Amino acid sequence: MMTAALEYFQFVLAPQMLIGLVLGVAVILVALGLTIIFGLLDVINMSHGEFYALGAFIALALASIGLPFWLLLLLVLLMMLPVGYIVERGLIQRVFHSGERHVTTLLLTFGLGLVMEDAFRLAFGPNPHKPATPIAGAIDVFGVFLPLYRLFLIAGGAVIVALVALVVYRTRLGAMVRAAAFDRHMAASLGVPVQHVYAGAFAFGVALAGLAGVLLAPIYSVFPTMGRDFILMAFTVVIVGGMGSIAGVIVAGLLLTQVQAISSLYISPVWSDPIVFGIMVIMLMVRPQGLFGRLGHG
Amino acid sequence: MADALTRSMRASHVLAAVLVVAALIFAAVGAAIDDTFYLRLGTEALIFAGLALSVDILLGYTGLLSLGQALYFGLGAYLSALVLMVTPSFWAAMGATLIAAIVVGAIGGFIANRVRGVYFALITFGMAQIVAKIVYNTRALGASDGLIGVPVINVNFGIASISSASPVGFFLFTLAFIVVLYALAAYLLDTPFGRLLIALKANERRVPFLGYSTVTPRLTAYVIAAVIAALSGALYPMLRGFVSPELLFFSTSGNAVITLVTGGVGTLVGALYGGILLTVLKSVVGSYTEHHLIVIGLLFMGAVIFLPRGLMGIVRPAVERWLGGKVVP
């Protein structure tokens, strides 16, 4: 009896949970940018999935001229920052001050996403590209077969999340960001350059998405609509965790991907999407503010 | 003395009449040269204009952005296809769609109206995604293939009947149908109920101080929008002979929002012009390149930034001036 349960865990449950964990870390990276942008700017970035794809495509283009994967991680991050900064200053700020900011910024970023997605198709074609895995091989973890790259992804993702949390909660820069999220006018009058904080936060958010794109490309391959399915999960995580909450994203991201991974053991995996969206709708109904409080609040 | 809203709606009606005249000329030319393709395209444009109209009732009047209107459009399309495959009766299909739209709309409205603003957009989006994924995975509803083989029907009016296989006949019928939906929406929004919706958009907190409930009108507006979307969707299988799960996807809801914002939010007639504008643009740009999304996306972004009131934001004030009276911008 005991051995049967142990074997069930070792050969059925544990591998599934590890697959869920890889997805969870990936979703957290994407959702982190989304939640920072919402928490600070009050903007629902509908083009976030396309920025995720942009990171992957930049990496694809750079890899084709022979740059090593590890350099790409840094380069994509550095290239995405100015892109995000320009998008915030040049596009989002134009409709930011209208009365219905939620609607107008949502529509604008939705349009931007459409343009970007079609531009990827124009530049790279509609077919998926699969970059080579930067770390080959696999190891046994408690008898579970695990590719090394996925292990690296879990560890690397955790480091990135920890760094982001450290910056937001433990540095002067993070204090400015939280101050601007709490009360932008008061923050501005105390000398916080709110305009740059906003643009910088947006740039940082989309750069995180781009970084996730590079990291995940060897696993999920690169194609123009790659952001679409992924972003739905990220939105759900942000809503369940609490829009604008960093802790919420981490908790909800791990929780939801585990629900998805474990539930697909017992019911057909095609139903995991309706289950996840069902959780999102129920959460919006009973507790629209999510599990945790917003960035800069409470 | 007519107030500003009545005057601007009068301008909307004039523009709707212009559209009908243009559509009649289009139908006459199409019939004369025995065209099928463009008449079918025009019919489809009108059907999707009906969907955009339903988004306008929510966004333009109640101030709620729905990102899941495809739920009701798809509901109408699937239900109409199922009914027609059992019994090829237009009225049975429409009756079933109407009842289902009221019931599902009431349930959806109850769920969605618990939240406001950006959460409303996300909850409507989530609900539509759930239904889309379920339909996509349900074998009985054709799963990813959709339902094919919807029979050609005759729309029977007692004295005359129109076959859905006749390009010009069905175009004219759809035109009449959408104009009736437009007129119904315009009438409803001109009643005290409609004014209440506008008041809700302007300031929801103050409405209860005037002695009105905010729950009932919001729910009613949601159900009306659901019914309009579903009835428009019910025409789709009659035109194309099939339904596919794409009708329920986010791209359908998103396209309706693009249509409306480019045409002009809060004008009703903007939905109709937007539907035609986008369809024409898609087929014109589409004949040069398959990347029409870039053009439409840029146009949409341009509209959001520079023309928040859409095409009607330029055209309608001009019509108002022409009709006389002072224009309040």
Provide CB contacts within 8 A for A222, sequence distance 6+: A53, A56, A57, A60, A124, A128, A129, A130, A131, A213
The conformation of residue A46, written as its DSSP 8-state character, comes to T
Comparing C-alpha atoms, which of A15, A18, A56, A39 is closest to residue A230?
A56
Q: Compute the average pLDDT of residues A112-119.
A: 92
pLDDT digits (tens, 9 = 90+) for B228-263: 999 999 999 988 888 888 888 888 898 899 999 998
Question: Could A44 and B65 be called an inter-chain contact, meaning their C-beta atoms sit closer than 8 Å?
Answer: no
Q: Do the Cβ atoms of A277 and B294 come within 8 Å?
A: no
A295 pLDDT tier (thresholds 50, 70, 90): low
d(CA B49, CA B69): 12
For residue A12, the 8-state DSSP code is I
pLDDT tens string B72-130? 999 999 999 999 888 888 888 899 999 999 999 999 999 888 888 888 888 898 889 88
Q: Which positions in chain A touch B301 (Cβ < 8 Å)?
A: 91, 108, 111-112, 115
Query: Residue A60: CB partners within 8 Å, gap ≥ 6?
Result: A124, A129, A131, A217, A222
Interface touch A278/B294, C-beta < 8 Å: no
Q: Is B254 on the interface with A (CB under 8 A)?
A: yes
Question: Across the interface, which of B117, B129, B134 has its CB nearest the CB of A102?
Answer: B117
Cα–Cα distance for residue pair B320/B218, rounded to 1 Å: 29
Write the pLDDT tens digit of every residue in B179-230: 999 999 999 888 888 888 888 888 888 888 888 888 888 899 999 999 999 9
Q: Report ipTM for this prediction.
A: 0.85
Contacts with A95 from chain B: Cβ below 8 Å: 304-305, 308
Summarised one tens digit per residue, pLDDT across range A148-199 is 888 888 898 899 989 988 888 888 888 888 888 888 888 888 888 888 888 9
Q: Which residues pair with B322 in a beta bridge?
A: none
A contact set with B (CB within 8 A)? 44, 91, 94-95, 98, 100, 102-104, 106-108, 110-115, 117-119, 121-122, 232, 235-236, 239, 268, 270-271, 273-274, 277-278, 280-281, 284-285, 288
pLDDT at A87 over 90: yes
Q: Report chain B residues whose CB lies below 8 A from the CB of A270.
A: 133, 136-137
Q: For residues A118 and A241, is the Cβ–Cβ distance under 8 A? A: no
Q: Domain ranges in chain B?
A: 4-323
